[in-house]
Structure 1
Amino acid sequence: MSTDTRAATGPSQWGLAALGGVALAVAAGLGAYAEVHPGDGAALTTLGFGGVLEMKSWLTTAAAVLVLVQVVSALAMWGRLPGVTDAPPWVSGLHRWTGTVAFLLTLPVAFHCVWSLGFEDESARVLVHSVAGCVVYGVFAAKMLALRLRGLPSATVPVLGGLLAAVIVLVWFSSALWFFGQSGPVRY
């Protein structure tokens, strides 16, 4: 391998390894904390909603809608949206702000999941939800770090963004969609 090739691949390999390590550490840390702190199911706040599950479902739904805006705006910014050759200048601001708001909407949800409910595995749906919820923040941390690291492959940020969107949608399907489909009193 030539020196030029080694120099070009070395930093990106270390950067990708660092991103993977950060994602794993954050997700595992959240999962481990939630596992050792089983919670009592009590709501610390419902932000005006009728209950903690209702609050979590609506905030997650709002975040999932913003994630759809994130995907469309990212496709426009990267020149991958059919029929859009040049994204208008405001698209990057829209992308940044919808991502920020989506992240902020997930914080009370995650806090209640980790603090009030703990890591659950009583059914396949709940286990998938618990794991995916932890993975959301691991992938988010990796994506935010990837925005600042130089020398990474050009596909890194779009792949992490797509993975983050997919995991948030999985969280929504395994929680909010399930909640909205229930009739009568609901227990997580």
Structure 2
Amino acid sequence: MGNRLSKIYTRTGDDGTTGLGDGQRVAKDHERVEAYGAVDELNSSIGVLLAYPSLPAAVSSCLTEIQHELFDLGGELCIPGSRAIKAPQVERLEQELDEFNQPLPPLKDFILPGGGPMAAACHVARTTARRAERRVWTLITMETSSPTPPENVNSEAARYLNRLSDLLFVIARVLARHEHGSEVLWRHDRKR
């Protein structure tokens, strides 16, 4: 194992910069910091969901593995040029998505985020995954349009986050049924 943190504060960020994994200092609002920060928020949102004691075992197992991969992804984004997320991980998310989705009824209407505390927490994680994906795409776009050679941000990272947000949507549907038996449908024909 690497260095242990014995002192949590360093004061090195008091000037508005932070250190990347390769040692370079960048502004705290740099696109790379925004990307791995959003991934960290996503991981924390999933942690909230995992804290529910009545979370189904299959969901808990799936999300625990995802937390580990998100930690790897945060490290990848923190170290320019590194790669931690690969195509097989994206494919595994697709398989899990298909397995969770198979018993669900087809969607005919949009659903509202909610359906119970666990389902609502899963929707928060889903929207956080979408934001993390947008931040990674911002970083990819910035890197490829930069006058200096791009650091080749791993496009598998963006694919992973895209599939993860889809998986979290399906898991929210599963959890809504687990908690209350149904979802809240958006009523497009209501009086406004």
TM-score by length of 1: 0.31
The alignment's TM-score, normalised by the length of structure 2, stands at 0.31
Q: Which has the higher contact order (CA 8 A, sep 6+)?
A: 1
Larger helix proportion, structure 1 or 2?
Answer: 1
